[in-house]
Structure 1
Amino acid sequence: MREDLIEGRNAVIEALRSDRTIEQIWVASGDTKGSINVILALAKEKGIVVKEMDRRKIDQVSETGNHQGVIAYISPYKYYSTRDILDYARNKDEKPFILILDEIEDPHNFGAIIRTAEVCGVHGIIIPKRRNVGVTPTVYKSSAGAIEYMRIAKVSNINNTIDELKKEGIWVYGADMSTESFCYATDLTGPIALVIGSEGKGISKLTREKCDVIVKIPMVGKITSLNASVAGGILMYEILKQRIIREKK
């Protein structure tokens, strides 16, 4: 999947408002209604080339199939390092709040996770270089522009990275139903890295063994599992809630 395209009006607007390097923008000919005017104004302000293109040409280039008449060509996403994420948290004088994704392959899930992570104050997301979707056009669009404000690191080995985080004083929590510990009854207010497993397999066995604590989400229905982005969202909000309560005491 390409990592040099942003598709959709909201995603392109957020890219224009950030420091993202945009090479040029394609806009469907005759499309002058609504938020497209915001895009044109921001592009003019930044001196970015805008080309009117036949919608069929944009359809051919689009990878999401839902470009809303606009595509931006960008410099590929510049991934961060784990150290960048840690430094960002500490420069803000905050306890690190990191998300580790263990082989998330669905770009819609990844985009949704990024969007929730940004809202919940996550300092960065760590993904493996293999068997995990990268920052693709679908991820951009699904994140609704939140990707512009999130530090994402690609690492060769998730388990080695977990060891490094532990040396930094960070506790690693894994999300898995095979435990008696509920997330709401677990103290999640310290420096934390939360591991979310893949849509089908969950957290791999070795990674699960690396976790300091395994927590689960309470469920009372007949369905025994949740979508990765939904499970991640519930847990991220629980961490945020506990941190807010702790700060008010």
Structure 2
Amino acid sequence: MSDKNNTIFGIYPVKEALSSNVNFDKVFIQKGIDSDKIEGLIKDLEKANVTINIVPFEKLNRLTRGNHQGIVAVTSPVGFHSLESVVEKTLESNKTPLFLILDQITDVRNFGAILRTAECTGVDAVIIQKSGGAPVSGDTVKTSAGAIFKIPICKVDHIKDAIFYLQGSGISTIAATEKTDSEVYSLDLKKPLAIVMGSEGKGVSKSVLTLVDERASLPLLGEINSLNVSVACGAFLYEVVRQRL
């Protein structure tokens, strides 16, 4: 295992980690590999609900310089929570629900900073997609100042499914986007709510924008037309706090 990037490589080390209940962020498996041992390990990983990515041989070589045998696993410092159980527990509590959905945030420092702000503003859980986002790694722990251990993180197959589930549970969804004339300060944020923050480059994806209940923007008074996503997230969350106090 490499402490630097939290990787485990090779069939037996990954198998041993799985049997020892190590938390996995994701596992990369070589495309087209023909191995009964790998096939068996894939079945065990799927039973454990571990995210599996099929990638070219070159990708594995970039992840580690060791003899990876066609498989590299990235471990996570924390376990992940079921969205359904977290939502159910939150609805049973006396507080107004507040969830945060991250649509393909890829920078680990942004991810960590967002987790820190989410914990400080009383977010009930952060929802991420299994594939495409920033890894839950040691760098995330450092940037979050330990907040990652205090706030539930839910991994879902698709962000859209999470939105449908939240809406069906009576929780409104608001996307942070510049593609609207409605500013966040004009919206009612005191109701059960989930805020969707988009990726650093593309923002909230078009398919997600079509599903949310509302869209909201932040006023930009300078010449730069966008904010860092972690900064924007902080502005949204603290407007929720302001309205609810």
Q: Could you state the TM-score of these two structures normalised by the residue count of structure 1? A: 0.67
Q: Which runs of 5+ in 1 are unaligned?
A: 5-20, 22-73, 245-249
Map 1:123-202; keep pairs closer than 5 Å: 123-202=124-203
Task: Say if 2:98 is the partner of 1:97.
Answer: yes
Offset of residue 111 of structure 1:
0.3
What per-residue deviation string (whole Å, max 9, x for no partner) do you get for residues 62-81 of structure 1? xxxxxxxxxxxx98421001
State the AA in 1 paired with 2:231.
V
Change beyond 3 A, Cα 1:131–1:166? same
Offset of residue 3 of structure 1:
7.6
RMSD, aligned α-carbons: 1.8
What per-residue deviation string (whole Å, max 9, x for no partner) do you get for residues 6-43 of structure 1? xxxxxxxxxxxxxxx9xxxxxxxxxxxxxxxxxxxxxx
Contact 1:79 1:152 in 2 (8 A): yes
Contact 1:102 1:203 in 2 (8 A): yes
**Which aligned runs of 4 or more in structure 1 are off by greater than 3 angstroms?**
none
Given candidates 2, 15, 29, the residue that maps to 2:6 is 2
State the AA in 2 paired with 1:197.
G
Corresponding residue SS for 1:210: coil
1:122 counterpart residue number: 123
Contact 1:198 1:228 in 2 (8 A): yes
State the AA in 1 paired with 2:182.
S
Offset of residue 133 of structure 1:
1.4
Corresponding residue SS for 2:102: strand
Corresponding residue SS for 1:184: helix
Contact 2:112 2:143 in 1 (8 A): yes
What per-residue deviation string (whole Å, max 9, x for no partner) do you get for residues 114-146 of structure 1? 000000000000000011113201100000011
1:48 counterpart residue number: none
Between the aligned partners of 1:234 and 1:85, the Cα distance in structure 2 is 24
Corresponding residue SS for 2:173: strand
Q: Identity rate of aligned residues, in percent?
A: 40
Corresponding residue SS for 2:210: helix
Between the aligned partners of 1:118 and 1:75, the Cα distance in structure 2 is 19
Offset of residue 87 of structure 1:
3.0
What per-residue deviation string (whole Å, max 9, x for no partner) do you get for residues 42-64 of structure 1? xxxxxxxxxxxxxxxxxxxxxxx
State the AA in 2 paired with 1:167.
G
Corresponding residue SS for 1:214: strand
Q: Could you state the TM-score of these two structures normalised by the residue count of structure 2? A: 0.69
Between the aligned partners of 2:160 and 2:76, the Cα distance in structure 1 is 30
Map 1:68-107; keep pairs closer than 5 Å: 76-107=77-108
Between the aligned partners of 2:231 and 2:6, the Cα distance in structure 1 is 26
What per-residue deviation string (whole Å, max 9, x for no partner) do you get for residues 156-202 of structure 1? 01101111111000100000011111111111110001000000000
Q: Which runs of 5+ in 2 are unaligned?
A: 9-21, 23-74
